[in-house]
Amino acid sequence: MKPDVLFLLHWPSAIHGSSIVGLSIKESREINRAFNTRYINLLLSDEVNESGELTFRKFYKGLLIAGRLFKELVRRRPSVCYFALTTTGAAFLKDFILIFLLKLFRVPLVYHLHNKGFEERKDSFFFRRLFHFAFANSAVILLSRHLYSDVAPYVQPGQIRICPNGVTAAHYRNGQEKEDIPEILFLSNLIRAKGVEVLLDACLLLKERNCSFRCTLAGGDGDISGMELVELIEEKGLSAQVSYVGCKFGEEKEQVFSAASIFAFPTYYKAETFGLVNVEAMQYRLPVVSTFEGGIPDVVEDGVTGFLVPQRDVVSLADKLEVLIKDEDLRVRMGQAGYRKYEKEFTFRKFESRLIEILQGGISVSAEVSGQYGLTRSRRK
């Protein structure tokens, strides 16, 4: 008999990596074949600039979600609950209501953390108590071993499961002719901390160094609007080199990836865990220039599939972009290495298999995990 799994996740908005993954899980044939599945949508906001804000509408939607969960638990208690937990602020408090209900019904919990932020609350006695309660007797899926320090005070190494995100195969236009002038692509929500302004400053340096390049910026409004970004491009005198093309989904997204020569994602976003867009770029055989943040070092292999630079370091970013702009052979080698890494580690089929194995394995604490992934937990004083 197949286990009954209740999935609490986010869909269908494509504004966040967790929503993209959530929709992929919901539509996965293999996951739905392996379990008797039920789904509850946790998404409260469809707009990037509403994320993290507490509004009456979101509060009301949260109450409806709690009511839906209670009905599902009364109707049939699941074998296990997969919970795409939000880690910060009011969103965590909303999720904690759901956690309390699940623990009241003694449902085994497997959390999947697509963001981070527990460490920021380490000085709050109130939140520390909530975190200890939430994680007790549960399994916790992390996207990378580098993210363990965020939850280490509340989670034993043996509770951890490592499951990197995966993306479905892209329609890469193999052999497509590219422009003679190398094109840098940035694709993300227009959030300052994702590094879009840092990239513009690096482009200004490249222009001053007489580098021949183009840069395409794609993404929806965040704490910077598309109009503000266009004005910023004009103010910096980069209109001839840099263009903003708005949101890109589906075939249009495939086109901007296929036309690019280099992918740049100089994020310093404090909740960054994985950088799913870097994996998407690797599908298109693009060398990636990103930063040492979250689990990105597990995705982008510095000097092999691209370069990692210090956060907010405009000069270092410009230096690495210049190297790739001027060396086509290096771009090709790094791009091919990135594609091989994607095929080996980050396909959606790999992700499906790992997740199914984790859910079938239940929440038993395994001592092997800490040794396998090098996880250590410092002794609390």
**CA–CA–CA angle 15, 19, 25 (5° rounding):** 150
H or E stretch at 250: helix 250-259
The residue written with tokens 């997969």 in the block is 82
Whether cis (ω within 30° of 0) applies to the bond prior to 12 is yes
- Give the pLDDT of residue 363: 57
Give the count of beta carbons closer than 10 Å to the beta carbon of residue 174: 8
What pLDDT does 362 receive?
Answer: 65
Q: Worst-scoring range by mean pLDDT, 19-23, 75-79, 210-214?
A: 19-23
- Residue 309, strand partner residues: 291
Beta strands in 67-151 (DSSP E): 80-83, 109-112, 138-142
Q: How confident is the model at residue 297 (pLDDT cuts 50, 70, 90)?
A: very high
Interval 230-254: pLDDT, tens: 999 999 999 999 999 999 988 999 9
Q: Give the closest residue to 242 by CA, choosing from 269, 203, 277.
A: 203
Partnered with residue 121 across adjacent β-strands are: none
- What confidence category does residue 188 fall into, taking pLDDT thresholds of 50, 70 and 90? very high
Give the Cα separation of 281 and 114 in Å (integer): 19
Q: pTM of the predicted model, to two decimals?
A: 0.87
Strands across the sheet with 80-83, in order?
36-41, 4-9, 80-83, 109-112, 138-142, 160-162
Q: Cα separation of 191 and 185, whole Å? A: 16
Model confidence over 338-360: pLDDT tens digits? 999 999 999 999 999 999 999 99
Q: How far apart are CA 277 and CA 292, in angstroms?
A: 15
Mean pLDDT of 62-87: 94
The answer to whether residues 122 and 128 touch, using CB atoms and an 8 Å cutoff, is: yes
pLDDT at 44: 72
pLDDT number for residue 53: 57
How confident is the model over 25-61, as pLDDT tens digits? Answer: 999 999 999 999 999 999 876 554 455 555 677 778 8
Range 274-287 average pLDDT:
95
